Amino acid sequence: MALLQESSKQVEEINSMSTSNQVEESSKEVEESSESDEITISERCWANCKNEALYFGYSPLFVHLAAGSLDDKEFYQYVANHEHLLNSFLEVYKLAADQCEDDSDKAVFLGWCNNVEQELERHNSFVEQKLGLNPTKETTLHPATAKYKEFLLATASGNVQDSEIPLHQSKIPAYTLGAMTPSLRIYAFLSKAMQKLVSPYVNSHPYSRWLKEYSYENFETPYLHSEDVLDELCDSLTDKEAEVVERLYCRAMRFEMDFFYSWQSEQTLIIPIYTKLDPKEERLMLFSDFDFTCTSVASLEILANIEILTAQKPDHQLLGEDRDGNSQVTSKDLRKTWELLSQQYTSENDNFIEKIMLGEKAVSFDYEGLYSAFVKLSSPEEQAVSRIFDSGVLKGISVEDIKQAGKCMILHNGCMNFFEKVKNLDVSVNVMSCWSGDLTRSALLGGLDMLKVDGNEFSYADGIFTGVVTRQAHQSVTAKLKYFEDMVQEYASEHGVGARTVYVGDSVSDLLCLLTADIGIVIGSNKSLMKVGKHFGITFTPLFAGVVKEQKKRFETGNPIVWKGSLSGTLYTFTSWIEIHAFILGPDLVNEELP
């Protein structure tokens, strides 16, 4: 038991030293500020909602707006709803001003009232003159906006349901602003993302005038000012009162999210992928690499540390004699051996990348050239795995230690939640690892029944690894591809339907599978992968940008066949498994995901 505790502690130490590649751009400012002694409450609130922020980019409303796929009536309803939101803000600011005991705070809220009144005038003028719409025409308030308005008015009136402590009038302005700031923050976040998406064709975009009028610059100053004032108002709050602000912030973000996800349109939305498939004709097959695609640290690091810890135990040192027949292997010797093996792999991998790129850079996507290069060269992963098993350095490791270490492995944000949700659906899930199948299964909640793991299966004697591998994983680039193709063919034969394939990976060894899948998705920004990919003409596009592009294509051509991009030469990038969740499973499961 002591060894298990120590190995778990070691895994946690390794995980804490690892740098995850999944940090989204929207949270960089929060992380930078967190390096200081204190983090402000506005920063903490936004950081707590970063998952929700990622979901917004895959919402029906955002995708339709970015793709320009709303009809005129639907777009007008959206524009009119913005006016309803402004009127709600005006009413709430006035209520909050009445609750202020400090004259300077009251002046700030009244100043915001004046700003909103001016914004309403500009809005109505813009709607009438630039959009040619009637700003006085009555429109129906969207149910989600109505709920948000009711929530804001209740908070500004002192009816704070989230508070379990006595409510003092002087705290109401802070609570009110905590409930209003998320709207300003998320609209700034989304307008910035929208600008990047539509900038190449903004002048021809059907909503170009609206997008230019409500660009990021229009939201930046209001949300920054709101956050500054929120931080000042919260300076005098107790920890319990600050927690109330955080809960109100999260609830407000949820109301906004409900609005974006509940938006109804007559135009067909191409996501979420799972719900768009006809199970009688086609079903979803998901393939995922394990190391660094699902995890923040390599499996081999975990196995190596367990073996080093094992060697430190007196009752385990005898096992070291079996390795070379006459001498014990100390933890120091093992650490040095692992360092040499790691250095050798790094050197071989660097040479592998250089040799792949010896030819001229492709003018366009060159799959044949890429495939040919992989066939000619020996895979560094395959060589490293064989070398490590042949050396016997893993011999003597305990299956219980492996499983315990797997349970302690840190997975990327949203990864485990996604697998938990998808296990209840009719989806074939395959996880591929170059290392231990037991470790992989244990990391994914001790082994989910719906998961098929392609990993090395160890032979154990009394729970101790004998050094014999009874089943080898598919380690080389081409071996991975063959496994992928065999599994797809096998699935089609068993179920009598086609498969829509999604492959999620992170490295050069995943390239052929990524390109062969209908949808190939890359986590992070592996430099070698990007370098090789661009050399062979592969295009890398952010996943949510790809969604908008496909939605635009679907709207303009009417072609119902989308996301069938096998060998298209385009791979999609993402920063968090939250995006995969939104992309594949969609809003029906979001409600269970978020607090």
As for how many domains the chain has, the answer is: 1
Give the model's pLDDT for residue 589.
42
Check residue 217 and give its pLDDT: 92
> Is 177 within a domain?
yes
Q: What's the domain range around 158? A: 25-267
- Condensed to tens digits (0 to 9), the pLDDT of residues 374-412 reads 999 988 988 888 999 988 888 889 999 999 999 889 999
| E-only strand ranges, 282-348 | 282-289
The answer to whether residue 543 sits within a structural domain is no
Residue 447: what pLDDT? Answer: 53
Q: Return contacts of 158-165, CB within 8 angstroms, 24+ apart.
A: 158/99, 160/244, 160/248, 162/244, 162/247, 162/248, 162/251, 163/241, 163/244, 164/240, 165/240, 165/241, 165/244
* Confidence (pLDDT) at 28: 44
Residue 198 sits in a domain whose CATH number is: 1.20.910.10
In a domain, residue 312? The reply is no
Beta bridge partners of 431: 288, 453
- Within-domain flag for 30: yes
Decide if 558 is inside a domain. no
Position of tokens 């003018």?
363
Identify the segments of the chain with pLDDT beneath 70: 1-37, 136, 162-163, 312-329, 446-449, 565, 587-595
Domain membership flag for residue 189:
yes
Count the alpha carbons within 13 Å of 176 in the hemisphere toward its beta carbon.
31
What is the model's pLDDT at position 31?
45
pLDDT of 576 reads 94
pLDDT of residue 90: 97
Separation in Å, CA 29 to CA 46, 217, 281, 415, 510: 10, 17, 46, 24, 32
Q: For position 448, what pLDDT does the model report?
A: 60
Residues forming a β-bridge with 411? 295
Whether 486 is covered by a domain: the verdict is: no
Q: What is the 3-state secondary structure (H, E, C) of 411-477?
A: ECCCHHHHHHHHCCCCEEEEEEEEEEHHHHHHHCCCCCCCEEEEEEEEEEECCEEEEEEEECCCCCH
Nearest to 452 by CA among 494, 491, 396: 491
Judge whether 522 lies within some domain: no
Nearest Cα neighbor of 275 from 566, 563, 568 is: 563
